[in-house]
Amino acid sequence: MHRLAGALALLVLLLSSPPASAQTTIHDGPLSERRVSYTMDVRLDPDTRTVSGTQRLTWRNPDQVPVDELQFHLYLNAFRNNESTFMRESGGVHRGNTARNDNPWGGIEVRSMRIADDRADLMPDLPARDRDLTARMRFIQPDDGNPEDRTVMAISLPEAVGPGETIVLDIEFESRLPEIVARTGWRMADTGNPLFFVAQWFPKIAVYEVPGQRYVPVDAPRGQWNAHQFHENSEFYADFGTYDVAITVPSDMVVGASGLRVAESTADSLTTLRYQADDVHDFAWTASADYLEYTQQWRHVAIRALIRPAHKGQAQRHIDAAIVALDRYDAWVGEYPYTTLTIVDAIGGANGMEYPTLITAGTTYGLPEGARFLEVVTIHEFGHQYFYGLLASNEFEEAWLDEGMNSYIESRIMDDAYGPGGVIDMGPLRIGDVDFQRLGYVTQAPSRGALYTRSWEYTMGDYGKASYAKPATVMNTLERFWGWDLQQQFLKAYYNTWRFRHPTTRDLQETAESVSGHDLDWFFDQFVYGTAVVDYELSSIANTRREDGTYRSRVRIHRKQDGIFPTELRIRFANDSTRTVTWDGAERWKDFTFEAGDQVVEAWIDPENKVLLDVDRLNNRRVIPAWADNTFARRAQLRSAAFFQKLLILIGGLF
């Protein structure tokens, strides 16, 4: 549709402002630079599956030079036909989800864009005819040159936006929602009612990076737009700002959205809800007549769970898991500054996603208490409020800074909150999340895929491993290398220094080095920028009895791969005494010699399981057969058996 009818526009204008006590964050002033603001007035038409309306966009030029072009993301155009880059790369399949409807397509049509007439003071000399930018819109393909891809749009301006100045645009648009395959759209629920999850749904201005920001050289003559096409693997990157969004839906629908609901009004079987969100970089919402609403307060956060009827028995599990995450992120990383959190039990490919103050978790009917997949997803998606939301890394270019750091904290929380059976705790079967993350790395071609890689440049299958399981294992290993206390200091410093500032991998490393006093080039070069693989093998034990009855024993270690990591060697003598020595892990072959009154009967590399990056734990230990029944040996055997069991379960789950 074009502009909303006059009566509806008037209604929105009359909606009450938020009361003084209603705040979207717990702070009175701005938390971010707020380069952009959006005011939107939109309406959902369930029959046509469209969201249409108006947007007023205000953008401030952060550079020291004029900017004469704007760039926008139109993510929904990834679903307009089979020729978009997303569809070419994915084949229409995303995380196992495919379209089932005869007409699953979607997209964004920008019907008009003009420099606001009522803000002519910003460009006072610009003729009225030049204020209409609609004819200036063009699609660009910065990543692959695919002429059919329309997910990035550029507009050349008739007059440049000066340093520190703002431009105000009035935009009319219609978004046709696709069938849910990847994150956003509509799908019919088992009740026969449509469920709408509306994400990446509006024209969103890209990030203009100034000299010195992220990887733009400090001495660069000007900044540059950072806008990538929507790929199969890539997610998002945007600037912080404010959102004021009025959403009109049929009155029988329950709505959840980013931010704080500040007004609501109903007329003619339509309900208009107004939401405000401050210091965020995106806005998403959902609507369904099926949602059941559950609420609970955690300190300053109003938690709201929107649950589908078949899963109502698991509503409290969603809320309890969110509180587990809130508690530990607050203690381990930093405060959650927002006053709301909405958890959505969505459908299919819309589940397992994150947006500012709004996450989708999902579940399945009859999920046993001991199968904590619901908790894993809820805690993981909440964690994105930090690494995706508050820190806002560039997910196109450095996905691991979001997904990987988040997966690390997720694994730490799950095992801390729920014990050794953090993920599965069903009778004799107990599997923790740290184990799951490690196995996800070691069983999927660990020598492929550096963490520092643009998301669309991974070879098939490497994105998931290198963005989730591997970085979680890398960070769990770093924690065990220098201890949890120092790791907490690092996490807090990273959060406090870089929230609202779009950090890079380089910034993460510099923070870790500053806090710890360690030079970490050896670590990041191998396991973040490189693809080094750690595998230490206890090759042999040789004992020589000397004439005086004492023994000279040699323990040989083989570094089988290119990865180097400091580790320990523990030996056990025949009298059950033990000795532990440290090793820098550098030599390809290393002999340790011991002279004692008893022979060495057992040797074990990394006995405390600190080096989780070691891809084969089964070759870390060797025992002389005659001494294999010793208690020390039995412990090792049990651990190895448990490893095998978990490995088989994981592999079985892949098929």
Contact 438, 476 (CB under 8 A): yes
Task: Between 374 and 638, name the one with better pLDDT.
Answer: 374
Q: How confident is the model at residue 651 (pLDDT cuts 50, 70, 90)?
A: very low
Q: What angle do CA 134, 136, 140 make, to 5 degrees?
A: 115
Count CB-CB contacts under 10 A for residue 209.
21
Residue 248 has pLDDT above 70, yes or no: yes
pLDDT at 648: 42
Q: What percent of the chain has pLDDT over 70?
A: 93
pLDDT of 422-443, one tens digit each? 999 998 889 999 999 999 999 9
Percent of all residues in the chain with a pLDDT value above 90, rounded to a whole number: 89
Q: 214, 305 in Cβ contact below 8 A?
A: no
Backbone φ and ψ of 104, nearest 5°? -90, 5
The rounded distance, in Å, linking the Cα atoms of 415 and 421 is 7
Answer yes or no: are the C-beta atoms of 249 and 270 closer than 8 Å.
Answer: yes
* Residue 489: burial class (beta carbons within 10 Å; 0-12, 13-18, 19+): middle
CA dihedral 503, 505, 506, 511 (to 10 degrees): 70
Tell which residue, 582, 466, 468, 477, has the closest CA to residue 522: 477
pLDDT in tens, 580-603: 999 999 999 999 999 999 999 999
Predicted local distance difference test score (pLDDT) of residue 585 = 98
Residue carrying structure tokens 């024993």: 553
What average pLDDT score do residues 4-14 get?
A: 33
Task: Give the pLDDT band of residue 358 (cuts 50, 70, 90).
Answer: very high
Q: What is the pLDDT of residue 629?
A: 59
Neighbours of 49 (CB within 10 A): 19
**Complete DSSP assignment for 213-261:** STTS-TT-SS-EEE-----SS-------EEEEEEEEEETT-EEEESSEE
Kindly give the interhelix angle for 405-418 and 373-384, rounded to the nearest 10 degrees: 140
> How far apart are alpha carbons 309 and 345 in whole angstroms?
10
> Cβ(563)–Cβ(533) under 8 Å?
yes
pTM: 0.93
With a cut of 50, say whether residue 5 has pLDDT above it. no
- The overall average pLDDT reported for the chain is 93
Contact in structure between 347 and 404 (CB atoms under 8 Å):
no
Task: Check pLDDT > 50 for residue 551.
Answer: yes
Domains in the chain: ranges and CATH: 6-290 (2.60.40.1730), 389-518 (1.10.390.10), 536-653 (2.60.40)
Give me the pLDDT at residue 637, please. Answer: 47
d(CA 527, CA 564): 10
- Is the separation of the CB atoms in 71 and 154 below 8 Å? yes
pLDDT of the residue at 635: 53
**pLDDT 10s digits, 286-297:** 999 999 999 999
d(CA 177, CA 167): 29
